[in-house]
A = this chain, B = another copy of it.
């Protein structure tokens, strides 16, 4: 008998909240199955959907490290456990793929061993796993994938994370183009300084986005959902981005920006119809640049990772 867990993709940054906001969506996501084994130690026995890109060596695999850190914490690192990882979302998409695998692995192992640990207690182990892929201890994809909802990460070191209220009807469109953007490159191009006026405007907008969420004020969310600092620096990494964004805005979305480090582009809408129309328009805009893309539509995922 095993435990199967689904952990969803997430929209890192949500445009206005660079490195501090993340939001879970319902699809896509990764699945991890954990099973007890008579052979001592943690092993990865199967990985699907990764095109041979992911290592089976536990210490080099985000899901493996996440599970291992949990087992070490429990004093159970000798325990015989097998993991199957089913990648059902693209790697390097800006949708928190490695975070989802780490989250799914930690929750599956925790349930398998009936640890009684709550999701918040599992957060550090999932972050430790995700660190293998990202190189840093960040919760901006891990926390929404695990906990669900729209999450503020006030501090990564202490995992001071908080759920925002989610306005009724808020709907996400995510368009994943067949492009590669390396997170390292997307980070390296950022200027080390921000003009003071841009800082003030962006902090007003991140504040407006949060107040809009708590007050259910989608108009305020729309006025606030813009990134004047990071997006202009990264837009050039995604051919056609400005056209895709304009196509989304023309459909009446609240805002449209880059998910995480890209290349996925997301939009938030006040309802599912606008979100759907925007998805089609965004896909057509990428197609005009000879770029194929996949569209995902989803309300905010309030559950996060779940046992299937």
Contact = CB atoms under 8 A, between A and B. Distances in A.
Interface stretch (A81-89, A195-203, A285-293): A195-203
Interface in A149-183: 152-155, 160, 162, 164-165
B20 A155 contact: no
Contacts of A205: 154
Nearest to A193: B193
Interface residues of A, number: 38
Contact of A229 (B154, B199, B204, B206): B199
Q: How many copies does the complex hold?
A: 2
Interface of A: 17-21, 152-155, 160, 162, 164-165, 190-196, 199-200, 202-208, 210-211, 214-215, 217, 220, 223-224, 229
Contacts of A214: 165, 210-211, 214
A5 to B, nearest CB: 28
Contacts of A204: 19-20, 152-155
Contact of A20 (B192, B193, B203): B203
Contacts of A21: 207
**Interface-centre pick from A17, A19, A191, A203 (highest chain B CB count, 10 A):** A203
Nearest to A224: B154
B196 A17 contact: no
A208 B152 contact: yes
